[in-house]
Amino acid sequence: MRDKGNSAGRKFGAPRFGGSRAGPLSGKKFGNPGEKLTKKKWNLDELPKFEKNFYQEHPDVVRRTAQEVEQYRSSKEVTVRGHNCPKPIINFYEANFPANVMEVIQRQNFTEPTAIQAQGWPVALSGLDMVGVAQTGSGKTLSYLLPAIVHINHQPFLERGDGPICLVLAPTRELAQQVQQVAAEYSRACRLKSTCIYGGAPKGPQIRDLERGVEICIATPGRLIDFLEAGKTNLRRCTYLVLDEADRMLDMGFEPQIRKIVDQIRPDRQTLMWSATWPKEVRQLAEDFLKEYVHINIGALELSANHNILQIVDVCHDVEKDDKLIRLMEEIMSEKENKTIVFVETKRRCDDLTRKMRRDGWPAMGIHGDKSQQERDWVLNEFKHGKAPILIATDVASRGLDVEDVKFVINYDYPNSSEDYIHRIGRTARSTKTGTAYTFFTPNNIKQVNDLISVLREANQAINPKLLQLIEDRGSGRSRGDRRDRYSAGKRGGFSSFRERENFERTYGALGKRDFGAKAQNGAYSTQSFSNGTPFGNGFFFIIALYIVCYLRTG
């Protein structure tokens, strides 16, 4: 192993968290990102040679028959495309990782590789380009980091002024930091250095890490572009490139930055792309950046939700959401350790809803793209440690947030696509755990109704008949006013408790396989009720009533 030196509580109801604004997410600046970077012209004959195939099949893997391989892949829902794909490994020792790496794995008490690790490690160690499509929480971070360490150990030592050997691009600061936490533990054991660079934090410490030299760099595209343009780092030594959550990076508009960055990396590098979905935009990126790659898919080939998540859809109107949310929180928070993420559409709504809930004594905090990095780190720390078990978030937190024990996800606002819906609810039921997703779906979301029903059916979830009624009403041209009585429940929030909702669910679908209350809360139900009759005070509904009167008058 290389010896290269050392690697680099408040109570509920605390004062509301304001803080500064850090501006837009790094990478979404005005102008042309990376305009100072010119596309390099590479002459492969003049470039130093490097190794990238280090894989030797363990004797146990060699003896594994084609039938056994197929049986394993089928049992784990592993689908492989491409030429010369190695057999999967089944035990950690079959990967032949260095002893230092194996010691860390043993300390973490992992029992066996996940499906993406079992198939991904042999591919990555063989030096092949690969695409891994797997849901979050499937172990993909180690799928690319451990082969990266092996790759680095076979390269010449860094010299003064060299940039990283392994570059990991991530869409958000939160994901970049989580990857760095994992990388730091393994790189320390192997006496390698790693760093994480992202926007919204001081540049000085990040620049000093790069100047001291790091083998592994985890970066968001915008901040890396800044450093490349300023000459603070370079990618001339980069031979192992990872694009983590490629679909999310494209959703966030980072494609121009990604292309500028990849132009700075030698074309004979090894490239690994990871994504939770496989839309045509991601496929095109793979075709442009990867050569003769192996495609590994974990789970169904079509977009699907985690089957360990109970999905409940409440068809309602926007004015009912606040009351319904508070009633849900009364039930959920009857057990204080229940962590819940509430997703909203806009930063303003995130701030407003957080303020209202904290005013009423709920232990809620908000996170979105305009929060400073210091705020975001503090909020996530409070959430992870259960000091503020309710996190209200925009989609900036819907991917890359890796908190193991989130019990509930609530879609206060329905997202713009079924992909985002699946990623949001994927914050619960990590690994093999179970969780519950509750969604408020309004007639304004009618364009998404068919996609939502497809997701629910694929996951064998009950279909609320009101969703089907929305489709029927759209076909018959029924007006929004006609739909009002059909989807309003007539009393506050429609259901007075989860027990009443369970009875309703059983009337229209088979929920016998997973009882909501028993599974999610061990049969605990809250008897708490409001003394004022409204969750946010009478003034809130007075404003809503006044709005409705004005709307009717203007007709």
What pLDDT is stored for residue 161 in this prediction?
Answer: 94
Q: pLDDT tens digits for 160-209?
A: 999 999 999 999 999 999 999 999 999 999 999 999 999 989 999 999 99
Contacts of 129 (CB under 8 A, 6+ apart): 270, 271, 272, 290, 291, 292, 293, 294
375 assigned to some structural domain: yes
540 assigned to some structural domain: no
Strand order in the sheet with 364-367: 309-315, 435-441, 406-411, 339-343, 390-393, 364-367
Same structural domain, 346 and 213: no
Same structural domain, 110 and 239: yes
CA 207 to each of CA 26, 115, 260, 272, 413: distance values in angstroms, whole numbers, following the listed order: 16, 37, 20, 26, 39
365 assigned to some structural domain: yes
d(CA 409, CA 344): 11
530 assigned to some structural domain: no
Same structural domain, 235 and 136: yes
Same structural domain, 268 and 344: no
Contacts of 43 (CB under 8 A, 6+ apart): none
What pLDDT is stored for residue 400 in this prediction?
Answer: 55
63 assigned to some structural domain: yes
d(CA 549, CA 147): 64
The three-state secondary structure class of 183 is: helix
d(CA 431, CA 139): 8
Same structural domain, 192 and 314: no
Closest among 78, 175, 91, 75 to 133, alpha carbons compared: 78
21 DSSP 8-state letter: B
The three-state secondary structure class of 459 is: coil
Same structural domain, 216 and 196: yes
458 assigned to some structural domain: yes
What pLDDT is stored for residue 16 in this prediction?
Answer: 33
Looking at 473, 501, 534, the residue that finishes a domain is 473
Closest among 123, 498, 144 to 334, alpha carbons compared: 498
- Tell me, what CATH number does 381's domain have? 3.40.50.300
Q: Match 């985690």 to its residue by tokens.
A: 306
Same structural domain, 345 and 442: yes
Q: Is the pTM of this model over 0.75?
A: no
Tokens of 402: 């890796």
Same structural domain, 351 and 245: no
CA 454 to each of CA 412, 460, 507: distance values in angstroms, whole numbers, following the listed order: 20, 10, 20
In total, how many domains does the chain have? Answer: 2
What is the CB neighbour count within 10 angstroms for residue 36?
Answer: 12
514 assigned to some structural domain: no
d(CA 248, CA 393): 16
Residue stretches of the chain with pLDDT short of 70: 1-32, 300-303, 396-401, 476-555
What pLDDT is stored for residue 11 in this prediction?
Answer: 37
Residue 432: give the domain boundaries: 309-473
Same structural domain, 79 and 125: yes
Looking at 298, 327, 342, the residue that finishes a domain is 298
Same structural domain, 225 and 340: no
Looking at 276, 298, 320, the residue that finishes a domain is 298
Same structural domain, 259 and 380: no
Tokens of 79: 């689908």
Same structural domain, 191 and 319: no
